[in-house]
């Protein structure tokens, strides 16, 4: 199964990534993509700063992708995760799963995101609109529970 | 087995490992990474955490809650009871908040 994992500072183009995954193939029946954006809930956020563990980030997402490939009949998987400074409204993460049928693609994309949030070594910190540096974002129980659904 | 024997040092020796820290663990420790000699008897991740806590206030603050800080050995997640045998790079970091 074609697998693409990229950890990058730059933004990404969803349409171009979908096109690349399906180029030259006639057997793909379903493409599911998820895009995570930087969100400002109260008008106080200037940007999120994402720190990551180079090397392990790629390795860990690769391990999660291998698990997804073992569980569902996939035709391709892609994960792109940005690091550095990301402003509200900008894209942070992209997951794409392709398969012959929609169920496998939906579930694999959902699985990959759930595990990416709880296992991929990334940490977010807030930069506030008033110019101060806010705190590190705390991990949420709801994300841990979402990942546990797949156990 | 052969490899384990080859890398295990005599009882009197210390073993050098690279420690790396991320996010608020890095800030509290005050370093992004360092090379340390593991003291004799440091066999698990938790042993290492307890030794680090005894070094100074920064480490003590970083590892205040021993079970909150996560660890990875050679870039793979491990539990506190994991053995340090074969470890060359040991990372400590808060629960992850990517995605």
Residues A104 and A69: their CA atoms lie apart, in Å, by 10
Nearest CA in chain A to B89: A56
Query: Would you call B96 and A139 a contact, using CB atoms and an 8 Å cutoff?
Result: yes
pLDDT digits (tens, 9 = 90+) for A30-71: 999 999 999 998 899 999 999 999 999 999 999 999 999 999
Nearest to B96 among A59, A92, A119 (CB): A119
- Chosen for mutation from A5, A7, A38, A51 (greatest number of chain B CBs closer than 10 Å) is A51
Domains in chain A, ordered, with CATH?
Answer: 3-148 (3.90.1170.40)
Pair of tokens at residue A30: 């379903």
B window 31-70, beta carbon within 8 A of A: none
Task: For B20, list phi and psi in degrees, rounded to 5.
Answer: -125, 145
- Encode burial over A18-41: b for 16+ CB neighbours within 10 A, e otherwise: beebbeeeeeeebbbbbebebebe
Task: For A132, list phi and psi in degrees, rounded to 5.
Answer: -85, 160
Concatenated DSSP letters of A114-146: HHHHHHS-EEEEEEETTS-EEEEPPP-HHHHHH
In order along its 99 residues, chain B shows pLDDT tens digits of: 444 444 544 444 578 999 999 999 999 999 999 999 999 999 999 999 999 999 999 999 999 998 899 999 999 999 999 999 999 999 999 999 999
**Mean pLDDT in residue range A119-124:** 98
Residues A115 and A148: their CA atoms lie apart, in Å, by 9
**Mean pLDDT in residue range A99-123:** 97
Give the pLDDT score at B62.
97
Pair of tokens at residue A151: 């156990």
Give the pLDDT score at B10.
47
Give the pLDDT score at A116.
95
Domains in chain B, ordered, with CATH?
Answer: 14-93 (3.10.20.30)
Q: Please state, for a pLDDT cut of 70, what percent of chain A lies above it.
A: 100
Q: Please state, for a pLDDT cut of 90, what percent of chain A lies above it.
A: 96
Q: What is the pTM of this model?
A: 0.92
Pair of tokens at residue B31: 């370093």
Give the pLDDT score at A41.
82
Give the pLDDT score at B67.
84
């Amino acid at each position: 199964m074609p697998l693409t994992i990229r950890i990058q500072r730059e933004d990404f183009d969803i349409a171009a990534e979908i096109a690349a995954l399906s180029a030259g193939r006639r057997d793909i029946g379903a493409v599911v993509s998820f895009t995570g954006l930087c969100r400002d809930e109260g008008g106080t956020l200037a940007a999120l700063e994402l720190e990551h563990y180079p090397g392990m980030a790629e390795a860990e997402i690769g391990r999660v992708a291998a698990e997804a490939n073992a569980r569902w009949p996939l035709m391709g998987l892609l994960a792109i995760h940005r690091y550095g400074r990301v402003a509200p409204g900008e894209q942070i993460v992209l997951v794409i799963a392709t398969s012959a049928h929609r169920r496998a693609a939906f579930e694999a994309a959902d699985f990959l995101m759930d595990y990416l949030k709880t296992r991929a070594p990334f940490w977010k910190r807030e930069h506030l609109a008033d110019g101060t540096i806010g705190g590190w974002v705390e991990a949420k129980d709801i994300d841990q529970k979402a990942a546990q659904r797949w156990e | 087995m052969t490899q384990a024997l080859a890398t295990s040092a005599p009882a009197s020796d210390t073993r050098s490992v690279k420690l790396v820290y991320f996010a608020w663990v890095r800030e509290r420790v005050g370093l992004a990474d360092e090379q340390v000699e593991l003291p004799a008897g440091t066999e698990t991740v938790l042993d290492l955490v307890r030794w680090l806590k005894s070094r100074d206030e920064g480490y003590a603050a970083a590892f205040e809650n021993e079970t909150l800080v996560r660890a990875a050995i050679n870039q793979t997640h491990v539990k506190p009871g994991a053995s340090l045998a074969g470890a060359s790079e040991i990372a400590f970091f808060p629960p992850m908040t990517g995605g």
